[in-house]
Every structure is written in C-alpha cells, then in structure tokens.
Structure 1
Amino acid sequence: MAFTRAAGKHRRPSVLSRRSANIAGVAALTTTGVIGTLAPQALAAEQDLTAEDTGAIRAVVLEDTVTDNLAEKVEAQAAAQKHAYEKAEAERKAEEARRAEAKRKAEAKIKKEREERERAAREAERKRLNSFRLPVAGSYVSTGYQTGGAMWSSGSHSGVDFHASSGSSVVAVGSGTVVEAGWGGAYGNNIVIRMNDGSYTQYGHLSSIGVSVGQSVTPGEQIGLSGSTGNSSGPHLHFEARTSPDYGSDIDPVAYLRGHGVRV
C-alpha cells in the first residue's frame, strides 16, 4: 500500500514523503509488467519501513498540523483585530454624528428662542407705539369739555384741563410728529402733534417746551412741563383733540382718549 501525506501549507514534500512515494511508484509499475520482477522487492521495501521512518513521518505530519493551526490562529487574530477596528471606527463615526446632531438641535433651539424673543420684543414695541396714555400721569380732569364761561372767546371750553402743579411732566399721549412748538397766543407755550392715526392733539399753557417741529415722539415721551402761560388762571395742562391742526376742529378729548384705551 502507498503512504499518503497530510497536506501542509507552503511546504515542499519531505525526504520521507518522497521516499514513500517512490516506493509506491515502483510497486505500481508491477501492474504494467514493466519491471514486474521488482514487485516483491518493492513490496518488501514498503513493508520494511523502520520504526524510525514511521516516527519521522508522524513527526512531519504533526509539524504540518501545528503549522496549519498556528497559521489559522494568526489569521483568526488578524480577522478579530480588523473586526474590532471596524467596530471602533463605526462607533466613533456614530458618536460624531450624535454630537453633530445634538449641536445642530442646540443651535436650532437657541436660534428659535432668539427669534421668539425678537418677535415678542417687536410685538411689545408695536403695541407700545400704538398705545395711548394720559398727558399727565395720575392726573384727572379739572375742567370738562365745552364748559361755558367768559374765560373762553368762543364761549365754551374747546378742550379739557388736567390738574397739574407747575413743572409737572407733560407727555405725548401717543406716537406722532410735532407740527407746532412755540407760543400759541391764549394757549401760551403750546405743542401740537399730528398723531399716527391722522388725528391731532394739543398741549397748552406749558412752562417750557422740550421738542421741536418735525420731531417724532412716542407714547409717554416727555414733551414739556406744565405751567400757567397764556390765558390761564393757574397752573394746569390744557389738552385738546382735533381732526386738523387748526383751532375749531376740536373733538371731545375724553372720548378720544377712552377710544384709545385710556382710563380717564
């Protein structure tokens, strides 16, 4: 019988393997009659393998097996290292993606909150500019609209008087543009403002004026100080609401202020 050697990686056949193959080859030739007389010798040669030859063959087979196992372990270790690297790289990229997404969301939240604050501020400013208030804070009407008497050339009061001691702050009741600022005859030092809604307001008997023609004013902005200039019996603020800047176009100032949300 011929001896077959276990396959090993990257190893050429050993001397013993070649010797066994040669013996097997000689034995095979007997079947073709080429050297039939050698058959007994070949068979004997095969049968006469010494214990030393057998041990050597077993050692070669064992060596090949150990080499194969070692190669497989090295390949397995390399594959495991590659897998670990690829896993770590994937986790790193996933973490970077999570951080980028968290940063994007945080920035979007900050942007949204800033836009909401700006929108709220704009809305608050819009409301403020469209709001109205008393011309003298905390004051009250001391003389009503169209009150009769010899004090007025027309025979009746064309506005209302707000109680105010001399030097009290007088403010614009709403947003508008100053169209008159100076002496107004019987009104003394007076200011006329064209309001943003197209109406006009007048402030008379001032002790001083703090604005000039063409100047824009906002609700609550101080425009002068109360006094008793012109045709006046004592310190107060004369306030009128008009449909035009001219005398005689007056309307009820209390109704005008209440119509714009002011409690009078």
Structure 2
Amino acid sequence: MAFTRATGKHRRPRSAARTGANIAGIATIGGVVASVASPAFAASPSGEPDRLEDTGLNQAIVVGEHMADQIDAQAQTQENVAQEAAAKAQAEEAARKQAVREAAESKRKAEAAEKEAKARAKAEREAKERAAREAERKRLNTFVSPIEGSYVSTSYHAGGGMWSSGSHTGVDFHAASGTSVRAVGSGTVVEAGWGGAYGNNVVIKMNDGTYTQYGHLSSLSVSVGQTVTPGQQIGLSGSTGNSSGPHLHFEARTTAEYGSDIDPVSYLRHHGVNI
C-alpha cells in the first residue's frame, strides 16, 4: 500500500505520492482511502522487485490538509504535555531539595538555640551557686549580738564583791529567764555544762581562734564538738551559778581558760556588731 497526501504551496509532495505517477486515476473523498489501478513491481532475476508494473490492485492513501494539521497539532500537544510533565517533575525535585535544605537549616538553628540555652542556663546556675556560696561565706563570717535586741546591763571590768577577781571579766546582757541565747559567730563548742560560778555555760572556739563564753544559762541546746553558726541558739538565759537574777554573762577570751578575757564590747564591735 502506498501513502500520499495532497500538497500545498508550502509542502512538498512525499515520495509515496510520486510512486503512483502512472496511476490512471485517483479518487479522493476528503482525504480517505480510494482503490485505483496501479502498476505492480516486477521481480528481477535476483527475486527482488525493481520496477513498478500496473496490476490494478494497488491502493493509495491521500491525506488531506485538515487531517495533516490535526495530526501535527496532536503531536505538538503530546510534546507540550511531555515538556510540562518534565518541568513539573523538575520543579517538584527542586522543591524537595529546598525543603530538605530548609529542614536541615531549621534543625541546625534549633540545635544551636538549644545549646545556647543550655550554656546560658548553666552560666546562670553557676552564678547563683557562686552568689549563694559568697552569701554563706559572709554569713559565716558575720557576728551578731548574743541576745537579739538587748543591751549591756553590767559593763566590762565593773568592780564589786560578786566576782572573785574583784572585777567583772565579761559583760552582762539584760535578758528575762528563758530568752534565746545565740552564738555570736561561727565556731566549735569546746565546753557545754556546769561551770561553777558561771552556772550552766557554753564555751565556743571561734573560727578566728578566739573564744566566747555564755554563762548562767537555764538550759543548753548544744554539746561539745558541735559546730555552730552566727545566730544559732545555744541555750536559754537563766540565773544559775553565782547570779543575782536572770541575765546572760558574756565573755571574750584569747584562750579557753579563765583569766584570758578581753573587752567583749570592743570584740563585738570589731566584728561589726553594733553594741
């Protein structure tokens, strides 16, 4: 079967149309198939056809301009669809890669933010710990009055027959019986119990190497070997021992022994206590 199409001034006749040059007549009906008599190829001695002979059985297909345009348009549409699909696939792949990059960047930023937050929290925690340690250090190095809100009722070295040495080796703080008696600073209890003329008493070796004594107590709150801090209750005031009434006898000493006393008021003032 030979195929041909009508030619216009902008198209060349195809070779298939020219092969039917010897056709006696071709009927065309809007570009459909028509049967015509046409020459047939005669076999050559080698068995291959080498010329066209009219056998009257050949058919020719004539394709009209309208159908050709439809075929071209369909081919163009298919090509456009393929290009659009390729462009869409390319865009989707680019979008996927961009999403992967953005996700990686978001993860990196989140990890960096988390790391920064942890570092900041650690720095803040360490700063608070340092501040707490410093506050505790200051507290432990702070001195307070042995009786909160009290005053000295009998001064240091006051004379009188009540004292075996002839003078007062400490000071007396005014205090009703049962008033809380406090350690004036940090130290370790070296004596807690009956002290003869001092009655129930407590002696503390302070962290600076000096000693403080608290006498005439009605009861004790600490024991030997116990460490104390500024303001900690060590007992309750009373009138035990050689006492004329409830009060606190307070001494400051250079040693734990009687006779090494120093001015208690000067001692407390030197450590920042307002007496």
Assess same fold via TM > 0.5.
yes
Question: What is the alpha-carbon distance in structure 2 between the residues aligned to residue 126 and residue 17 of structure 1?
Answer: 109
Tell which deviates more after alignment, 60-69 or 76-85. 60-69
Amino acid at match of 1:87: Q
What residue in structure 2 maps to residue 165 of structure 1? Answer: 176
Q: Residue 133 of structure 2 aligns with which residue?
A: 122
Structure 2 SS opposite 1:92: helix
1:70-94 Cα deviation digits (max 9, x unpaired): 2221111110111111222222222
Relative to 1, partners in 2 of residues 1:17 and 1:81: Cα closer, same or farther, differing over 3 Å?
farther
Look up the SS of the partner of 1:73 in the other structure: helix
Cα offset, 1:69, TM superposition: 2.4
Alpha-carbon separation, structure 1, partners of 2:155 and 2:76: 120
Tell me the CA shift for residue 60 of structure 1. 5.6
Partner of 1:199: 210
Q: Which residue of 2 aligns with 1:101?
A: 112
Of the structure 1 ranges 219-228 and 59-68, higher mean CA displacement relative to structure 2 is found in: 59-68
The aligned counterpart of 1:35 is none
Counterpart check, 1:78 vs 2:92: no
Deviation at 1:163, TM superposition (A): 0.6
CA gap of 1:195–1:20, structure 2 versus 1, over 3 A, is farther
For 1:192 and 1:89, the matched residues in 2 are separated by 75
Q: How high is the sequence identity, in percent, across the aligned residues?
A: 61
Spell out the pairing of 1:1-264 with structure 2 (5 A cutoff).
19=16, 52=63, 61-264=72-275
Map of 1:31 onto structure 2:
none
Count of paired positions: 224
- TM-score after normalising by structure 2: 0.74
CA distance change for structure 1 residues 239 and 59 in 2, over 3 Å: closer, same or farther?
Answer: same
| Local SS of the residue matching 1:179 | strand
Please give the alpha-carbon distance, in whole angstroms, between the structure 1 residues aligned to 2:269 and 2:71.
Answer: 114
RMSD value over aligned CA atoms?
A: 2.6
Structure 1 residues 122-169: Cα deviation after superposition (integer angstroms, max 9, x where no partner): 211111111110001101011111111211111111111111111111
- Following superposition, the deviation at residue 62 of structure 1 comes to 4.5
C-alpha separation in 1, matches of 2:89 and 2:194:
100
The 1:17–1:60 alpha-carbon spacing in structure 2 relative to 1, beyond 3 Å, is: farther
Alpha-carbon contact 1:207-1:228 (below 8 Å) kept: yes
Is the deviation greater in 50-59 or in 237-246? Answer: 50-59
Deviates further, 54-63 or 81-90? 54-63
TM-superposed deviation, 1:105: 2.8
Give the residue type in structure 2 aligned to 1:92.
Answer: A
In structure 2, distance between residues paired with 1:207 and 1:17:
134
User: Alignment partner of 1:202: what SS?
Assistant: strand
Q: What's the TM-score once normalised by structure 1's chain length?
A: 0.76
Code of the aligned partner of 2:181: V
- SS of 1:177's equivalent in the other structure is strand
Range with greater deviation from structure 2 (115-124 or 62-71): 62-71
- Which consecutive residues of structure 1, in runs of 5 or more, have no partner in the other structure? 1-15, 23-48
How far the C-alpha of 1:103 sits from its partner, in A, is: 2.6
Name the SS of the counterpart of 2:63 in structure 1.
Answer: helix
1:198 Cα deviation from its structure 2 partner: 0.6
CA contact (8 A) 1:17 1:57 kept: no
